[in-house]
Structure 1
Amino acid sequence: MLSTVRKFGRVMRAVSTRDPDQRVRRLYQLPDPSTQFADRSTRYINIGYWADERTTVDGAGEAVAALLADAARFEPGQDILDLGCGYGDQDFLWLKEKSPRVIHALDVTPHQIDGARRRAAEEGVADRLRFQVGTATELPFEDGTFDRVVALDAAQHFNTRTRFFREAFRVLRPGGMIGTVDTIPLDETTPRRTFRATRFSLYRFSVPDENWYDRAGYARRLGAAGFAQASVTSVREHTWEPWFRYWSGIARHPSAHPELPPEVLETVAREWRDTEQIKRELDLLDYVVAVAVKPR
């Protein structure tokens, strides 16, 4: 009982702060990593890309990271900036598979950056994977520093996404590309207060009003920031929809998943109490891959 009260207090402190970056930081500090990732070998915090029914949570997280790298045309020897990096699993994947010269990665959540730094040191790649606490809207880099700027399932939280676009444009070299995987509404007239499910509390409390627009609005804002050749493509049929099928299936039939740790089943039962409400709200959300080029 006492732990429940304490957790409720942490949630209320998180959602009540007026500082948007602080709110996101506090919300992402709420989960206990030992429970949050008890059922997997990776620490991806994204919806994932689910190719088929055999896809695992680890595989889905890795697949969406690979999708973003391919969409942004990663090439060997590039300087890459990853914003909202979380624990940095995608950066370790990209270092291995895409051979960049260096990846700088920022996130507002200190304990996630600490975990990523420890792993980089343990694997002997800290010279090429450089993690630091920071925000996507005030980048500590000179103009024209990077070949690619990316954000994997994070830009919806940036205050604001438009400021992020401008900063990305500034630090990119001419001919460089911005790439995001992002959650947006299918219809920008849908109020954010519509999202009442516990599982979607992040969209109610930690997405600025200025970030609440659809695919057409996304492309327009990329263009307004100076980018050309903007493309915003929905991939919700391989993301939100199979994500829902996977987790709701566990919630409805927990006994069919004896391989999952008890703490994971308890979390799923709590967060998926009303699968029908989650489905109604999910049907209002889009999941997109967006890319654009800084003109030469």
Structure 2
Amino acid sequence: MFENLKILRRAVKAVATKDPELRVQRFYLIQEPQVEFLDRSTHYMNVGFWDGDATTLDTAGEALARKLGEAAELRAGDTVLDAGFGYGDQDFLWLREREVGRITGLNITPHHVEAARARAEAEGVTDRLDFQLGSALSTSFEPESFDRVVALESAFHFHPRSAFFREAYRVLRPGGVLAVADIIPIDGATPRMAFKAGPLSFLKFSLPDENWHDGSTYAKELTEAGFADVTVESIREKVYEPWRQYMAGRVDDDEYRRKLGKALHKGVVRHWSGQDVMRQELDLLDYVIAVARKPE
């Protein structure tokens, strides 16, 4: 019970702050990492891409990272800016599988930066992975510093996302690619504050109003930032429903319940109750891979 009260207090503290960056920082402090990743082998914080081979949060998270890497056309030797990198799992994967030259990560959440740096040091790749504390909306990088800019399920936090598009355009070299995996409504007229399902509560307090729009407006903002060859592809059919089914099923898993403990498990059950409502609300959301290129 005490642990659940601590989680509730952290959530209230996150919602109460009016500073958008501080709100996001506090949002990622609501759940302790040892609880959030209790039955995990990775630290991906995305809902995943549930293709044929993805059966867990770990494999689905990796699949989404691979899909974004393909969309960004990550190549051997590329210099990459990863905006809002979380714990940086995708960066280690891209370094290993796509042999990019160097990745610079920006994140406003201190404990994420510390954890990613510690892993990079442990794996001896600090010369190729540089994780920094900072905002992707206003950076100190020189113009035309990167071949690729990516944001894996983080851009919906940016206040506003359009400012990130402009900064990405500035730091990309001519011909460079921006690729984003993002959450948006199917219809921008859907009331954001009307979502009731616990797992979707972040939509109400960690997204600025300016980011609550559909795919056509998304593409328009990329074009207005100067990008060409803009595509906004929906992949929602392989994201939301399989993620919901997995998470709802995990609640009833005996081994997960045992590891979590009775009190925390009770809170998780409450958080994931009302699956009929959640299914209805997920039908209102899109999940997109947006890709745009800076003209030569």
Task: Work out the CA distance in 2 between the residues paired with 1:283 and 1:261.
Answer: 32
Check conservation: 2:136, 2:167, Cα contact below 8 A.
yes
Q: Of 248, 258, 264, which residue of structure 1 is paired with 2:255?
A: 258
Task: Work out the CA distance in 2 between the residues paired with 1:151 and 1:261.
Answer: 35
AA aligned to 1:73 is E
AA aligned to 2:271 is E
Q: CA deviation at 1:7?
A: 2.9
Task: Work out the CA distance in 2 between the residues paired with 1:72 and 1:148.
Answer: 7
Aligned to 1:150: 150
CA gap 1:195/1:122 in 2 versus in 1, 3 angstroms: same
Aligned to 2:81: 81
Aligned to 2:243: 243
Task: Work out the CA distance in 1 between the residues paired with 2:36 and 2:181.
Answer: 22
Percent identical across equivalent pairs? 48
Q: Say which SS state the counterpart of residue 132 (structure 2) adopts.
A: strand
Length, aligned pairs only: 293
AA aligned to 1:32 is E
1:152-171 matched pairs, under 5 angstroms: 152-171=152-171
Task: Work out the CA distance in 2 between the residues paired with 1:125 and 1:173.
Answer: 24
CA gap 1:54/1:152 in 2 versus in 1, 3 angstroms: closer
Select between 133-142 and 162-171 the one with higher mean Cα deviation: 133-142
Task: Work out the CA distance in 2 between the residues paired with 1:261 and 1:130.
Answer: 38
Once the two structures are superposed, what CA deviation does each residue of 1:202-227 show, in whole Å capped at 9, x if it has no partner? 11101000001111111110000000
Check conservation: 2:231, 2:291, Cα contact below 8 A.
yes
Check conservation: 2:38, 2:259, Cα contact below 8 A.
no
Unaligned runs of 5+ in 1: none
Once the two structures are superposed, what CA deviation does each residue of 1:28-71 show, in whole Å capped at 9, x if it has no partner? 11111111111110000001011138622111000000000001
RMSD across aligned positions (CA): 1.6
Check conservation: 1:116, 1:131, Cα contact below 8 A.
yes
Q: Say which SS state the counterpart of residue 40 (structure 1) adopts.
A: coil
TM-score, normalised via structure 2 length? 0.95
TM-score, normalised via structure 1 length? 0.95
Q: CA deviation at 1:5?
A: 3.4
Task: Work out the CA distance in 2 between the residues paired with 1:30 and 1:5.
Answer: 11
Task: Work out the CA distance in 1 between the residues paired with 2:257 and 2:139.
Answer: 40
Check conservation: 1:250, 1:268, Cα contact below 8 A.
no
Check conservation: 1:29, 1:109, Cα contact below 8 A.
no
Q: Say which SS state the counterpart of residue 178 (structure 1) adopts.
A: strand
1:21-40 matched pairs, under 5 angstroms: 21-40=21-40
Q: Say which SS state the counterpart of residue 201 (structure 2) adopts.
A: helix
Unaligned runs of 5+ in 2: none
AA aligned to 1:236 is R
Select between 272-281 and 142-151 the one with higher mean Cα deviation: 272-281
Task: Work out the CA distance in 2 between the residues paired with 1:33 and 1:13.
Answer: 18
Q: CA deviation at 1:160?
A: 0.6
Task: Report whether the alignment pairs 1:178 with 2:172.
Answer: no
